[in-house]
Chain A
Amino acid sequence: MRWVTRAGVHIDRAASAWLIKRFLDSDAEFVFVSDPGQMIEGATAFDMRGAELSHHAGDCTFETMLHRYELADPVLWRIAEVVHEADLDDERYDAPEAFGLDIAVRGLSLVCDDHRILDITSPMFDGLYEYIRRRLILGREPA
């Protein structure tokens, strides 16, 4: 399936693309457009103005996607808190990881194109998932 989002990927789109690939559509193909409202025929838009899979009621796109696809995994919801704070920075959640993660992705956006950012951040989110999963099971920092 084709998925379309805005060019100039930051944390919310990188995390959402990872979520799509890992949990929704392993054959996902991503298209980036420069106009925040531009839709593409046959592609599902995410993190774009007016799209269903976007910011709603103060939620970031990653959170909207967890709601929409009924993904109840507590690990994903913790990642959602981190992504929310990195993206919106409104202190709805306590997520100190957000600050560093946001800068890491912003830094990548200065030296990589969007496809490359997804390639690099994908294993990063795999790692974050595993870290949070083990932390939830162990009740302490796993590494």
Chain B
Amino acid sequence: MQFSVEKDHSPGQWVLLSYRLPREPSTPRITVWRKLERLGVARLGDGLVGLPADGRTREHLDWLADEIGEAGGTATVWLATPASTSHERTIAKAMQAARAAEYRSVIEQAQGALGSIEVRRVQRRLRAELRRIERRDFFPPPEREEARAAVAVLGADQDVPR
């Protein structure tokens, strides 16, 4: 689900994961933390994260809840609607800002690779990185198009048979 942060609309449906994990061992905590980062969740509080609800996000949080249970923790998955649009907008803006920072990092790396002999390799790596960011980008910032363009232009002047 992708909708604009700016547009006036009624709040959408979110899927929330409320969880607790024992402090030790730390490995499952780190695994869960990494998976949540990869999904691009909004951190709503201590042990509470959320994503705009769709089939894929619900499923990911369902599995994560199971995994937390297997690791000795507790987790519940909720479907929720923010009571006010302004709360939703604040959360969405924070998520958007996090993605914008990731896109800016891609843009910087792309610009840094211009003219380098490694430019093709860098382009392949950044394309994969862009795909990963876009999958967790629910409120695309303007930086997305800039990052796509910055990666696309890499190697454009080097179109010779390898």
Contact = CB atoms under 8 A, between A and B. Distances in A.
A89 B131 CA distance: 11
Interface of B: 31, 35, 38, 55-56, 59, 62-63, 65-67, 70, 131, 135
A49 B62 contact: yes
A10 B131 CA distance: 20
A8 B63 CA distance: 15
Given A8-B55, A10-B55, A89 B135 contact: yes
Chain A binding site: helix, strand, loop or mixed by DSSP?
loop
Interface string A56-87: 11100000000000000000000000000000
Contact of A49 (B31, B38, B56, B66): B66
The residue in B31, B38, B66, B135 that gathers the most chain A C-beta atoms within 10 A of its C-beta is: B66
A36 B67 contact: no
A50 interface: yes
B70 A57 contact: yes
B55 A50 contact: no
Contact of B62 (A36, A58, A88): A36
B63 A55 contact: yes
Contacts of B66: 49-50, 54-55
13 contacts: A8-B55, A10-B59, A49-B62, A50-B66, A54-B66, A55-B66, A56-B70, A57-B67, A88-B63, A89-B135, A90-B38, A99-B131, A109-B55
Contacts of A10: 55-56, 59
Contacts of B135: 89
